Structure 1
Amino acid sequence: MKALVINCTLKASPEPSNTHALAEVVAEQLVSYGVEVRHVRAVDLNLKPGVVTDAGEGDDWPEVHARLLEAQILIVASPTWLGRPSSVAQRVLERMDAMLSETDDQERPVAYNRVAGVVVTGNEDGAHHVISEINGALVDIGYTIPGQSWTYWHLGPGPGPDYLDEEKGRDWSHRTGRAMAANLYGVAKALQAAPLDAPPS
């Protein structure tokens, strides 16, 4: 089984990413189940605007799209900015919009029988809103969202230190992240054993 983590931080590599650090807790738990986990830092790529799978020369999205189709588990990880998902997360979701019109060899939407979850960090309020916005988009695209398939860290209300600079709250975030991984893996296994059929016409 394969998982893909798309980190939607605004920080380009090699700058440390709080969002990556928390997503790695979830990834490590998945690895303990034998899942192969790959990470993509979207801001490092040239993801052209649009709602197509391939926007032409220089567009890096087709490679990400190929990795999405290889993975049974997707984790979208985003910081909170102004109480909302990052602009990079919005770009990723807009590019994933093209998957709505793509089907597999059994005429099922390509996101069917795949699960997804969300990781959020930020030194301000808004984590539940970010989780809701991203999950809502992923459901529209066709992903299955297991119960409690998210974790987050923040010290709100108001601004404060970053995840990598503060130990407070990490235990809860890590415990919730491990539960998230267990739920994602469990539902992904169930869908492998009993996959969804194509929707009725």
Structure 2
Amino acid sequence: MTASSSAGLPHRYDDLTALYVNCTLKPSPQRSNTQGLIDRSRAVMEGAGVTTELIRAVDHDIATGVYPDMTEHGFATDAWPGLYEKVMAADILVLAGPIWLGDNSSVTKKVVERLYACSSLLNSRGQYAYYGRVGGCLITGNEDGVKHCAMNLLYSLQHLGYTIPPQADAGWIGEAGPGPSYLDPGSGGPENDFTNRNTSFMTWNLLHLARALKDLGGIPAHGNQRTAWDAGCRSDYENPEHR
């Protein structure tokens, strides 16, 4: 990060990495309204010196299932193992997608399922693999459901082991019913102050928490190690063998 780009920032962020997963139903190069909102958040990240990467999930042959590699369970191909490496290389994960029938898209749900497929893996300290990483979400649509979709995603991420900062979601919806999408002319989406504010707050909160966790060395490995629990180290519970 150059001196000019870092001026006024409370910390350095140029050693952080962020992965955005666009869960649109539209394959490239079709225009994605979700991408429009991702671009806003991503610009803030990159302005702070963060290295970002974008995956459009539908462009990849991600198999359906809840195992780390579905080629071991009947599928001929599965792009997830390679994408999982990108997930694990990122300090910050942002899941982004559209609303359909008031809920997250099928692609979003598949990505969450595949994240869940790897949630039983452990890090070098015996904690679940996603510990020490930060998660957030972005939602777009032209019908109701932003909070419902965000609630589902943020719960899922924290359950898998991600740390969620305050106000870790942002979204935009047009009028209820058929109408313009985020990037359509006259939608008002890119100019919407509420959406822009929440997107900015979400992005900075992700950055601040990722900075704190990186400086801390991740979540402290005490009381949350699966390996220690399985080995019988359960200091918070009485050992029935000694009653």
TM-score range, shorter chain: over 0.9
- Give 1:156 shift: 3.3
Amino acid of the structure 1 residue aligned with 2:213: L
Matched, 1:176 2:198: yes
Return the alpha-carbon distance in structure 1 between the equivalents of residues 124 and 179 of structure 2: 49
Return the alpha-carbon distance in structure 2 between the equivalents of residues 139 and 66 of structure 1: 19
Matched, 1:53 2:74: no
Q: Which residue of 2 aligns with 1:90?
A: 109
SS at match of 2:70: coil
Picking from 30, 39, 43, the partner of 2:45 is: 30
Instruction: Note the alpha carbon deviations across 1:89-129, whole angstroms, 9 max, x for none.
Output: 00001111122211111111111010000100000000000
- Give 1:133 shift: 0.7
Q: Which residue of 1 aligns with 2:34?
A: 19
Q: Which residue of 1 aligns with 2:233?
A: none
Amino acid of the structure 2 residue aligned with 1:35: V
Return the alpha-carbon distance in structure 2 between the equivalents of residues 100 and 151 of structure 1: 25
Instruction: Note the alpha carbon deviations across 1:172-198, whole angstroms, 9 max, x for none.
Output: 212211111100000001111122123
Gaps of 5+ in 2: 1-15, 230-243
- Give 1:63 shift: 1.3
Return the alpha-carbon distance in structure 2 between the equivalents of residues 192 and 10 of structure 1: 34
Return the alpha-carbon distance in structure 2 between the equivalents of residues 33 and 51 of structure 1: 36
Picking from 85, 89, 105, the partner of 1:70 is: 89
Return the alpha-carbon distance in structure 1 between the equivalents of residues 47 and 204 of structure 2: 10
TM-score, scaled relative to structure 1: 0.96
Return the alpha-carbon distance in structure 1 between the equivalents of residues 143 and 176 of structure 2: 6
Q: Which residue of 1 aligns with 2:170?
A: 151
Q: With CA pairs under 8 Å and 6+ residues apart, which has the higher RCO, 1 or 2?
A: 1
Q: Which residue of 1 aligns with 2:150?
A: 131
Amino acid of the structure 2 residue aligned with 1:103: L
TM-score, scaled relative to structure 2: 0.80
Return the alpha-carbon distance in structure 2 between the equivalents of residues 174 and 11 of structure 1: 24
Q: Which residue of 2 aligns with 1:121?
A: 140
- Give 1:7 shift: 0.4
Q: Which residue of 2 aligns with 1:197?
A: 220
Return the alpha-carbon distance in structure 1 between the equivalents of residues 193 and 80 of structure 2: 35
Contact 1:2 1:37 in 2 (8 A): yes
Amino acid of the structure 1 residue aligned with 2:188: E
Say how many residue pairs are matched. Answer: 201
Percentage of identical aligned residues: 38
- Give 1:58 shift: 1.9
Gaps of 5+ in 1: none
Return the alpha-carbon distance in structure 1 between the equivalents of residues 62 and 129 of structure 2: 20
- Give 1:171 shift: 2.9
Moved over 6 A (4+): none
